[in-house]
Structure 1
Amino acid sequence: MAEMEDRWLSISEICTHLGVSNDTVYKWIDKHDMPAHRMGRLWKFKKDEVDEWVKAGGAAETLQRNPDRE
């Protein structure tokens, strides 16, 4: 049973798990170093790696500071 829990997830499965769109996941891969592995032309994900990345704040948007407002 543990083997099934440790399988590679597809883009649609990770989107469902996180509750976000495909576009969001592709943006996170490109701009926020989301842990993803390219297999041919497909992206695959390990749920545990993605969960740790989210917990560490990987999906948080970088806030731009406005020096005039400080």
Structure 2
Amino acid sequence: MKEGILGIKEVADYLKMRQQTVYRLVKQKRIPALKIGGQWKVKQQHLDKMFDKMLQDKLKEFQL
């Protein structure tokens, strides 16, 4: 596996969620992914950016 490119199992492990949940999020286009050779691939960098954006949005809720 090329560093930074994750399969569904690795994404699930990285995000601490079930593989079924990752498949659902990919199909809902909530996780950016490409299907290569019949397998979904996700850049770890995209997951990190997605997480950072979600965290920033959540922090805005707490600002006065």
Same fold (TM over 0.5): yes
- Tell me if structure 1 keeps the 8 A contact 2:4–2:45: no
Alpha-carbon deviations, 1:9-61, whole Å to 9, x = none? 1111111110001111011112243111110210111111011112223xxxx
Q: Which has the higher helix share?
A: 2
Q: Which has the higher strand share?
A: 2
Query: What is the CA RMSD across the aligned residues, in angstroms?
Result: 2.1
Map residues 38-57 of structure 1 onto 2, 5 A cutoff.
38-57=35-54
Counterpart residue type for residue 41 of structure 1: G
Q: Indicate whether 1:12 and 2:9 are aligned.
A: yes
Q: Indicate whether 1:34 and 2:22 are aligned.
A: no
Alignment identity in percent? 28
Structure of greater Rg? 1
- Tell me if structure 2 keeps the 8 A contact 1:35–1:53: no
Q: Which runs of 5+ in 2 are unaligned?
A: 55-64
Post-superposition, which runs of at least 4 consecutive aligned residues in structure 1 deviate over 4 A? Answer: none
Q: Which runs of 5+ in 1 are unaligned?
A: 58-70
Counterpart residue type for residue 17 of structure 1: Y
